[in-house]
Copies of this chain bind each other. A is one copy, B any other.
Amino acid sequence: MFKLYDISSVIRPQMQVWKDLEHNRPVFETVRSHDSGETHETRISLDAHTGTHLDAPLHMLPGGEKIEAIPLGDLIGPARVLDLTGAEDGITRQDLEPFAIQPGEWILLKTKNSYTDEWRDDFIYVKQDGAEYLAGLGIKGVGVDGLGIERSQEGYPTHRTLMRSGVLILEGLRLKEVSGGSYFFVLAPLKLEGIEAAPARAFLMGS
């Protein structure tokens, strides 16, 4: 039997959100409850970029493809977790080269971000030269354990370099419980239509 690793963020009002801004928080509104009726029902309001989520090219590229253009089959298959918990500030080409990344893989970058559930302005991100390196390897996608794959880079070169090369971007993973190594990966975004991202459940199966 396989071992299952849930690598998704918990979605709740008090969770880490982008730049810690109140208007980015999820809101759960109880619209019916057992005190007043026979059922309990909640309406949810959340940003498409809440917690663990998959970006579509439209997020960063004018006229880019929407979330429904990403085939589910591209989100299920082999993945490798790279242990980059020693990385400071941002991940570079030099950090990535030793891992002998293979075409067709999903690459999940485990950093210090997985060890805090709080927003930090100095979260570890992927620097432009790291993105340029990843963009040339033929990988399916790259997953990060920060809420963003980049910060403070004018013009969003990390997102745009990867998107223009057809590399999918998954943000907001939680990788503390997973060791570096190879796994079978399942990424299951909500089947949303017409927008630029989707919240997702993600998990790994390994031995």
Contact = CB atoms under 8 A, between A and B. Distances in A.
Contacts of A49: 41
Interface string A106-126: 000000000000000000000
Q: Which of A11, A49, A68 has the most CB of B within 10 A?
A: A11
Nearest to A15: B193
Contact of A46 (B9, B44, B73): B44
State the oligomeric state as a number of copies. Answer: 2
A96 interface: no
B44 A45 contact: yes
A24 B93 CA distance: 48
Interface in A166-207: 186, 188-197, 199-201, 203
A83 interface: no
A165 interface: no
Given A72-B4, A203-B72, A11 B192 contact: yes
A4 B77 CA distance: 12
A164 interface: no
B201 A51 contact: no
B191 A6 contact: yes
A9 B192 CA distance: 9
A201 B191 contact: yes
Contacts of A40: 58-60, 64, 196
A39 B12 CA distance: 25
Nearest to A49: B41
Lowest 7 CB-CB distances: which A-B pairs, in order?
A: A188-B188, A188-B201, A34-B62, A42-B195, A12-B193, A8-B191, A45-B45
